């Protein structure tokens, strides 16, 4: 089918989000505050430690990691889980399954629209202001290329993960608790709040192999120049593994659970 039939879902998602101007301003303001708080917190930590390196990070590398983590979170933070869960709980999924469109592809393009909105409208102003506040970072073509590849893998992985999470609505009557617990767990294990280098060795090794680290930590480390050579190749391989694993698992879960949706009518 023509991609144009699905791109309209991306466009409609962006237009819908932009229509609520008060929400747009609040989201922008909230992201700016969060980014600046994190930047000034880490700057104070490094100042208190007398500068130098902390757990292998210089202040400049921490600034690069922080801004890349914020950008990555925004660029992948679509709501495929919310789209699927809402349609399952209100029964609209039965109507959408009957349409001559692939359901998962339609959800993907809606998810992409929200990611695009978050990356450009919400995140970009925060990054500009953080840079103006002194969070300067160096960048090279190699680092940017590694970040771009890792970000693409992170986005794809996160979509399959979110789609699979949305399917839990078929098994539960209320996904509010599931989504909130997941947000806390993924924020902690992904390195979005604190780089994995600040965890004990035994925990850091295990966390690096989980899909959560592949969503935020790996792209941020690549941008900060903390991954190179064999280490970068290994991190990208782990990301690629989780993309394939979650793609297969989410496809199996969809094919299994959609039968229950068809039988129960939503």
Token code pair at residue 93 = 């999924």
| Per-residue confidence band for 173, with pLDDT thresholds at 50, 70 and 90 | low
Q: Please name which of 147, 118, 102 lies closest in space to residue 5, comparing C-alpha atoms.
A: 102
Instruction: For Cα atoms 23, 26, 32, give the angle at the middle one, nearest 5 degrees.
Output: 140
Q: What kind and span of H or E run contains 166?
A: helix 141-166
Q: What percentage of the chain reaches a pLDDT higher than 90? A: 26
Confidence of residue 133 (pLDDT cuts 50, 70, 90): low
pLDDT reported for residue 263: 43
Instruction: With both helix axes pointing from N to C terminus, report the angle between 59-76 and 141-166 in degrees, rounded to the nearest 10.
Output: 40
Number of structural domains in the chain: 1
Per-residue pLDDT for 211 more than 70? Answer: yes
pLDDT of residue 218: 94
pLDDT of 266 reads: 43
The yes-or-no verdict on residue 156 having pLDDT over 60 is: yes
Domain that holds residue 125: 4-264
8-62 pLDDT, tens digit each = 889 998 998 888 888 888 888 888 888 888 889 988 999 888 778 888 888 888 8
More confident residue, 17 or 153: 153
For residue 167, give the DSSP letter. Answer: G
Average pLDDT, the chain: 86
Helix or strand run (H / E) with residue 51: none
């Amino acid at each position: 089918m023509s991609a144009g039939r699905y791109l309209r879902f991306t466009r409609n998602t962006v237009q819908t989000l932009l229509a609520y101007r008060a929400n747009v301003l609040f989201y922008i303001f909230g992201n700016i505050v969060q980014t600046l708080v994190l930047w000034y917190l880490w700057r104070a930590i490094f100042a208190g430690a007398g500068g130098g390196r902390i757990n292998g990070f210089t202040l400049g590398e921490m600034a690069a990691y922080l801004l890349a983590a914020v950008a990555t979170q925004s660029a992948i933070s679509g709501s495929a889980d919310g789209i699927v869960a809402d349609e399952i709980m209100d029964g609209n999924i039965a109507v959408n399954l009957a349409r001559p469109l692939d359901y998962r592809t339609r959800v993907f393009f809606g998810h992409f629209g929200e990611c695009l909105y978050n990356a450009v409208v919400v995140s970009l102003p925060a990054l500009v202001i953080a840079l103006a506040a002194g969070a300067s970072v160096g960048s090279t073509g190699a680092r940017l290329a590694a970040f771009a590849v890792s970000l693409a893998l992170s986005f794809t992985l996160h979509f399959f993960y979110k789609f699979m999470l949305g399917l839990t609505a078929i098994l539960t009557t209320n996904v509010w608790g599931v989504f909130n617990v997941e947000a806390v767990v993924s924020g902690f294990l992904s390195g979005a709040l604190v780089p994995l280098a600040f965890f004990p060795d035994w925990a850091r090794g295990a966390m690096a192999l989980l899909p959560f680290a592949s969503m935020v930590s790996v792209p941020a480390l690549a941008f900060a120049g903390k991954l190179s050579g064999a280490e970068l190749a290994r991190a990208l391989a782990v990301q690629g593994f989780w993309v394939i694993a979650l793609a297969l698992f989410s496809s199996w879960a969809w094919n299994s659970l959609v039968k229950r949706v068809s039988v129960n009518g939503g």
